[in-house]
């Protein structure tokens, strides 16, 4: 399905839901000097058609939170949607894929280890400093 067809199918209006969103100023997660403003809301559950409309409109989802950046005077971070069936890697992406072909991913039971806790702590420290 093309991106155009995907967007055309997402015809449910999100306007009636936008009144429930609120803005949260924060440090820019992309390192820009400007103050970032997250426009977000948590929903217990949305119909697939409504969620699809939000995603097609550039909103992002984290758990049950929908958000978009609403920074005054800044539009440097632009969300994109990649249709997996239409993705064609460029030369650089093919090179990276080849260079990392030795990486193996395995699924296992959930376990907590010192190594995993340290990695999680490092990530959280970088992502949410202070």
Supply the pLDDT for residue 111: 94
What would the mean pLDDT of 99-112 be, rounded to a whole number? 94
118-129 pLDDT, tens digit per residue, is 999 999 888 777
Give the confidence band of 11 by pLDDT, cuts at 50, 70, 90: low
pLDDT of residue 7 exceeding 60, the answer is no
Supply the pLDDT for residue 103: 96
DSSP the chain: --HHHHHHH-----HHHHTT-EEEEEE-TT--SSEEEEEEEE-S---HHHHHHHHHTT-EEETTEEEEE--TT----------GGG----HHHHHHHHHTTT-----------HHHHHHHHHHHHHHS--
19-54 pLDDT, tens digit per residue, is 999 999 998 888 888 889 999 999 888 888 888 899
Threshold 0.85, pTM exceeds: no
């Amino acid at each position: 399905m093309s991106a155009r067809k995907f967007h055309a199918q997402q015809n449910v209006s999100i306007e009636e839901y936008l009144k429930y969103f609120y803005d949260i100023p924060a440090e820019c997660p992309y390192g820009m000097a400007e103050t970032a403003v997250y426009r977000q809301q948590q929903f217990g559950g949305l119909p697939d058609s409504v969620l699809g409309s939000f995603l097609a409109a550039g909103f992002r989802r984290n758990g049950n939170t929908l958000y978009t950046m609403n920074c005054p005077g800044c539009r440097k971070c632009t969300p994109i949607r990649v249709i997996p069936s239409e993705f064609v890697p460029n030369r650089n992406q093919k090179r990276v894929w080849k260079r990392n072909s030795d990486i193996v991913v395995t699924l296992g039971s959930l376990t907590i280890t010192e190594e995993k806790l340290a990695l999680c702590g490092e990530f959280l420290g970088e992502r949410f400093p202070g």
